[in-house]
Amino acid sequence: MTYRVVIEPAALKMLANITDRRVQEKIRDRIDGLAQEPEKQGKPLTGELTGYRSIRAVGQRYRIIYEVRADKVLVLLVALGIRREKGKQDIYTLARKILRLRLWKPPGRR
């Protein structure tokens, strides 16, 4: 079964802000790969990001955070960026902040 991949506007902006075109291309390839069996890729997240999954891209440096909606055969890409442990610009820190600001709705609340 092939899933339709939808990129949220915030994630699209994050992708556009990556200046290296080769990195952008590798991330897009990884995103395209989510159309096939996305629930078997990446790892499930916990805490505030429960219901989302994270997959590594571009030499393990970048993370793509997404939600799988099996009932709609849809993968919703909500954020992407560099993993910087304990940093203010860490992708997981940014994703939690976006969720708190309600710039996207948590899984099951749509």
List the domain boundaries for the chain.
Answer: 4-100
Q: What is the pLDDT of residue 20?
A: 92
CATH architecture label of 4-100: 2-Layer Sandwich (3.30)
List the alpha helices (DSSP H) in 1-110: 9-16, 21-33, 91-100
Average pLDDT for residues 62-69, to the nearest whole number? 92
Q: What is the pLDDT of residue 19?
A: 92
Residue 108 clears pLDDT 60, i.e. is over it: no
Query: How many Å is the Cα radius of gyration of the chain?
Result: 13
